[in-house]
Amino acid sequence: MKKSILGLLSAMVVLSVLVSACGASPTPETVTVVQTVEKVVTQEVETVVTKEVEKVVTKEVEVVKEVEKKAEPVHIVLWTKEGEADGGLQFVQSLAEAYTSVHPNVTFDVVNKDVEALREDFQTAALAGESPDLLWTVNDHAGPFTAADLIMPVDDLFDLSLYVDSALKAAKLDGKTWGVPISNGNHLMLLYNKSLIDTPPETTDDLIAMAADLKAQGITPLVFNQTEPFWMVPWLGGFGGAVFADDGVTPTLDTPEMVNTLAFLHDIKYKEEIIPAESDYDGADTLFKEGKAAMIINGDWSLGGYADLLGKDLGVARIPKVSATGEWPKPYTAGVYFMLPNTLEGAKLDAVVDFVKFATNTNNQALMVAKLNRLPALKAALDDPLISQNELLKGSADQMVVGVPMPTVLEMRCNWDAMKPEMQAVLADTETPEDAAAAMQSAADNCIKTLE
């Protein structure tokens, strides 16, 4: 396949970024890449990549390139929701460094922000005329960002046919695509420690039945973030509910399905004592990492960090089927996306577009799969053996197929804000499920009136 010299150097630099932190592995996957350097020679590069990216080896290739004309300096401020715990932030930084190595005129400032802080800070900064140049964030930010006219559609800037349809769909609003997908999924699943349980529970009845033995050993059966409704929504789907009516914008929160969901969460905390008395994201994460919890409900973004810690003891399964309904919980699915502020223009826009294409090319998508255990958004990367031979990714994909696309409409922000305090009140045992569901509906309806 014929590519420019920059393409070859890009692939080589990204691989070299990872090699210093790698060790040996007994089960390498061999990938052969043939590339032509224009005006020089055709070189064959053999890359050995293990499933855990514990070792990356490349044959040394001598590349001769013409001296480039001096290009205009471009500095890109990239805000990302990725953190250090699972290696996500480090991966983003490695992509930026690799791109700069090939394009010395383009430099980056990579800034980590919590998902909600990124949304709020971007809206504030953009309105003040101090917007960053590129966002690496979640799809549901498209709603508020487009409503405020802060980002640009990407349909005319990229060949979107190269990306997975389900990932593109999650970033569409009003017939336009508002983000370039980086990974596909971003969904919750059940992760378990094989050294503590042999087989994960298939149903909620199974979960309750196995909890007594775990508690007798001083082990918390299950943990998850009890402070955010993102962790409640899958259970709502399992009880047959949804947050919107068929029109996709009318909240449906005061329903028997929501009441049953809240009652179930209250019961597994206070009646069955399956989940701890208190647990936010960090608390749940710590209990699972320290081996004090047998199972955790967390997202695909956490797979890399848990795999590094637990190795073969890490298992992935679907969130247990709701015994009362016979339905699987339905986590939201989407992905992670590049979003472009609508203030970009000229040389900076050109550099940002080129970097996005570089960061989502086949080589870098394969490296993301191997390093972070995330499903790729590029169609060509789906055929990589790192997916077909990876039990964790197979489990992640199995959970994703029963999920539902996360709504991107602006009204979803009203639902999130309405559900959060009432869910917390039920789990604090200060409000009944019935009262909480009614309060959710009222808050969401009032919020939507302010959008009109």
Q: How many angstroms separate the CA atoms of 179 and 340, rounded?
A: 7
Q: Burial level of 165, CB count in 10 A (0-12/13-18/19+)?
A: exposed
DSSP 76-132: EEEEE---TTTTHHHHHHHHHHHHHHH-TTEEEEEEE--HHHHHHHHHHHHHTT---
SS3 state of residue 134: strand
Q: How many angstroms separate the CA atoms of 320 and 322, rounded?
A: 6
> What is the reported pLDDT for 50?
38
Q: Compute the average pLDDT of residues 365-394.
A: 87
β-bridge pairing 293-299 and 74-80: unpaired
Q: Compute the average pLDDT of residues 269-297.
A: 97
β-bridge pairing 106-112 and 314-317: unpaired
DSSP code of residue 373: -
Name the more confident of 380 and 343: 343
pTM tops 0.85, yes or no: no
> What is the reported pLDDT for 1?
40
Q: Compute the average pLDDT of residues 23-40.
A: 35
DSSP 216-251: HTT-EEEE--SS-GGGTHHHHHHTT--SB-TTSSSB
> What is the reported pLDDT for 190?
98
Name the more confident of 409 and 344: 344
Name the more confident of 16 and 363: 363
Q: What is the torsion angle, in degrees rounded to the nearest 10, for the CA atoms of residue 116, residue 159, residue 14 and residue 22?
A: 70
SS3 state of residue 412: helix
Per-residue pLDDT at 138 exceeds 50: yes
Predicted confidence band of residue 285 (pLDDT cuts 50, 70, 90): very high
In the predicted model, what is the mean pLDDT of the chain? 86
Report the percent of the chain where pLDDT is more than 90: 70
> What is the reported pLDDT for 382?
80
Q: Which residue type sits at 179? A: G
Per-residue pLDDT at 117 exceeds 90: yes
pLDDT, one tens digit per residue, over 149-197 is: 999 999 999 999 999 888 898 899 989 999 999 999 889 999 999 999 9
Per-residue pLDDT at 39 exceeds 70: no
Name the more confident of 15 and 252: 252
> What is the reported pLDDT for 75?
98
Per-residue pLDDT at 54 exceeds 70: no
Spatial contact of 158 and 177, defined as CB atoms under 8 Å apart: no
Where are the domain boundaries for CATH 3.40.190.10 in the chain?
74-185+334-384, 188-330+410-451
Per-residue pLDDT at 35 exceeds 70: no
Return the bridge partners of 181, or none.
337
Q: How many angstroms separate the CA atoms of 352 and 134, rounded?
A: 7
> What is the reported pLDDT for 140?
87
Q: What is the torsion angle, in degrees rounded to the nearest 10, for the CA atoms of residue 48, residue 49, residue 55 and residue 58?
A: 40
β-bridge pairing 56-58 and 42-50: antiparallel
Per-residue pLDDT at 287 exceeds 60: yes
Spatial contact of 215 and 288, defined as CB atoms under 8 Å apart: no
Superfamily in which the 188-330+410-451 domain is placed by CATH: Periplasmic binding protein-like II (3.40.190.10)
Per-residue pLDDT at 40 exceeds 80: no
Q: Compute the average pLDDT of residues 76-98.
A: 95
Predicted confidence band of residue 68 (pLDDT cuts 50, 70, 90): very low
Strand locations in 282-341 (E): 293-299, 314-317, 332-339
Q: Which residue type sits at 32? A: T
Q: Burial level of 32, CB count in 10 A (0-12/13-18/19+)?
A: exposed
Q: How many angstroms separate the CA atoms of 177 and 194, rounded?
A: 41
Per-residue pLDDT at 268 exceeds 80: yes
Please report how many Cα atoms fall inside a 13 Å half-sphere around the Cα of residue 110, on the Cβ side.
19
CATH of 74-185+334-384, one of 3.40.190.10, 3.20.20.150, 3.90.1150.10, 3.65.10.10: 3.40.190.10
SS3 state of residue 306: helix
pLDDT, one tens digit per residue, over 288-318 is: 999 999 999 999 999 989 999 999 999 999 9
> H or E segment at 74?
strand 74-80
Q: How many angstroms separate the CA atoms of 419 and 401, rounded?
A: 25
> What is the reported pLDDT for 25?
34
Predicted confidence band of residue 120 (pLDDT cuts 50, 70, 90): very high
Q: Compute the average pLDDT of residues 106-116.
A: 95
Predicted confidence band of residue 334 (pLDDT cuts 50, 70, 90): confident
Please report how many Cα atoms fall inside a 13 Å half-sphere around the Cα of residue 231, on the Cβ side.
21
Q: Which of 68, 78, 16 is nearest to 356 (CA)?
A: 78
Per-residue pLDDT at 241 exceeds 70: yes
Per-residue pLDDT at 20 exceeds 60: no
Q: Burial code of 376-393, b = ≥16 C-beta within 10 A, e = fewer?
A: bbbeebbebebbeebebb
> What is the reported pLDDT for 37?
34
pLDDT, one tens digit per residue, over 90-101 is: 999 999 999 999
